[in-house]
């Protein structure tokens, strides 16, 4: 099963809608959002998706975001989460708390650790820890690179970044 990985939507609804449409076109049904959702309206765009959210440093109204997650029938965000797909354990955090990110990376527990925060794409293997760090880039906020998301096939390790150069 392939998963779509998004991060740093920063309340940019149009970009989020476009990214979700592209993921749907590619028949992706499982999503991970690596934080900086920022508003309940963005959470509502994920209604009908099997999505895992984590908190970002810009997700300040935890009560409203948690309520929005409950309303669309998904688990409320946490600082970090883990999911298992195709027998591979995947860690998810935002990355603003470097201690959480490094502990996940060094734990030896995860095949993949997905994070956001930097707004820059990342696909890096840390062989000493047996982990691959993945950052899909950002759909909102500052723009050091073109807007992007990625698709991961946990079983094969194939990773594809999807860039949206036309997005603001």
Structural domains for the chain: 3-164 (3.60.21.10)
86 — pLDDT class (breaks 50, 70, 90): very high
- Exposed / middle / buried, residue 144 (Cβ in 10 Å: 0-12, 13-18, 19+): exposed
Give tens-digit pLDDT for 22-66.
Answer: 999 999 999 999 999 999 999 999 999 999 999 999 999 999 999
Average pLDDT, the chain: 97
Q: Mean pLDDT, to the nearest integer, of 127-139? A: 96
Backbone angles phi, psi at 70, to 5 degrees: -60, -40
Residue 63: predicted pLDDT = 98
Q: Mean pLDDT, to the nearest integer, of 128-147? A: 96
- 24 in helix, strand or coil? helix
- 89 in helix, strand or coil? strand
Residue 94: predicted pLDDT = 98
Q: Taking the C-alpha atoms of 106, 84, 152 and 144 in order, what is their torsion angle to the nearest 10 degrees?
A: -50
d(C-alpha 92, C-alpha 112), whole Å:
8
Residue 30: predicted pLDDT = 98
Strand partners, 3: 30, 152
Residue 77: predicted pLDDT = 98
d(C-alpha 125, C-alpha 133), whole Å:
6
8 — pLDDT class (breaks 50, 70, 90): very high
d(C-alpha 146, C-alpha 165), whole Å:
5
Residue 80: predicted pLDDT = 98
124 — pLDDT class (breaks 50, 70, 90): very high
DSSP 8-state secondary structure symbol assigned to residue 111: S
């Amino acid at each position: 099963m392939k998963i779509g990985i998004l991060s740093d939507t920063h309340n940019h609804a149009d970009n989020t809608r476009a990214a979700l449409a592209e993921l749907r076109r590619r028949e992706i049904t499982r999503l991970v959002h690596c934080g900086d959702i920022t508003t309940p309206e963005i959470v509502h765009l994920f209604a009908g998706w099997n999505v895992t959210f984590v908190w970002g440093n810009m997700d300040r109204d935890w009560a409203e975001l948690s309520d929005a997650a409950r309303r669309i029938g998904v688990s409320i965000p946490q600082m970090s989460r883990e999911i298992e797909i195709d027998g591979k354990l995947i860690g998810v955090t935002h990355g603003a708390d470097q201690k959480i990110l490094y502990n996940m990376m060094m734990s030896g527990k995860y095949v993949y650790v997905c994070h956001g925060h930097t707004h820059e794409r990342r696909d890096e293997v840390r062989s000493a820890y047996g982990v691959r760090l993945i950052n899909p880039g950002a759909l909102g906020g500052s723009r050091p690179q073109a807007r992007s998301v990625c698709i991961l096939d946990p079983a094969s390790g194939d990773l594809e970044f999807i860039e949206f150069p036309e997005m603001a």
